[in-house]
Structure 1
Amino acid sequence: MANRSNDKRNFALRSETGEETKVFSGKMPRQAALKAARRLEAADSEEESARSEFRLREKGTKKLHIYEGWAWREQAPEDKPDWMAETITQANVSKEGIEYLDEL
């Protein structure tokens, strides 16, 4: 049997209508939520960033993780690798709760 703590899990980004548009993976729901939040419209600073609610359904379950996320741009670190852009998108999330779907 596989050790669940080492396995990546898939989380589908779910729209208001229930359509699942993108899939993000991570060991924990927060890791997938941070990846999803980086896709939000990035502000010039964390203070200016707009917060958006989004929902991630854990694939294979009826569990819906609800997050509030925000993203912003900032300068890349000085010791960045050559391939990295001058500005990068940072993100943060706050878990709002979990819901269970009646059906898939």
Structure 2
Amino acid sequence: MAREDGKRNFALRDVDGNETSVFSGNTPRQAALKAARRLEDKGETEQQAPHQEIRLREKGSDKVHIYDAWAWEEESPDDSPDWMPNRITEANVSKKGIEHVEDV
């Protein structure tokens, strides 16, 4: 269900169907990228990053968006502000599909 600013909320689901976190974004992919940055297993580079499946249920809907997600750490840009850490987490996702659930 869209908010006044156009953002939608997506609940991160585990394998048992428990919803542990909520990420917001204008699109499911935007929320999936936010969730992917929080993955515990990160690679040294994008090519070495382990891939994990993440599932995001759109709040107010029975749609579950399924993504293949991976994250890695890299050096922050040379022109980064002082408050930014030396290493930042980058992430990417690839959509696998949509499922509809009945337990909402």
CA distance in 1 between counterparts of 2:4 and 2:69 reads 24
Question: CA RMSD, aligned part only?
Answer: 1.5
| Equivalent residue runs for 1:51-90 within 5 Å | 51-90=51-90
Aligned residues: 102
Point out 4+ residue stretches in structure 1 off by more than 3 angstroms: 3-6
CA distance in 2 between counterparts of 1:19 and 1:69 reads 19
Offset at residue 103 of structure 1 (A): 2.8
Aligned position for 1:45: 45
Tell whether 2:101 aligns with 1:97: no
Offset at residue 6 of structure 1 (A): 4.6
Question: Percent identity over the alignment?
Answer: 58
Offset at residue 39 of structure 1 (A): 0.7
**TM-score when scaled to structure 2?**
0.93
Q: What runs of 5+ residues in structure 1 fail to find an aligned partner?
A: none
Q: What runs of 5+ residues in structure 2 fail to find an aligned partner?
A: none
**TM-score when scaled to structure 1?**
0.93
Amino acid at match of 1:28: T
Aligned position for 1:26: 25
CA distance in 2 between counterparts of 1:5 and 1:66 reads 25
CA distance in 1 between counterparts of 2:7 and 2:81 reads 26
Aligned position for 1:8: 7
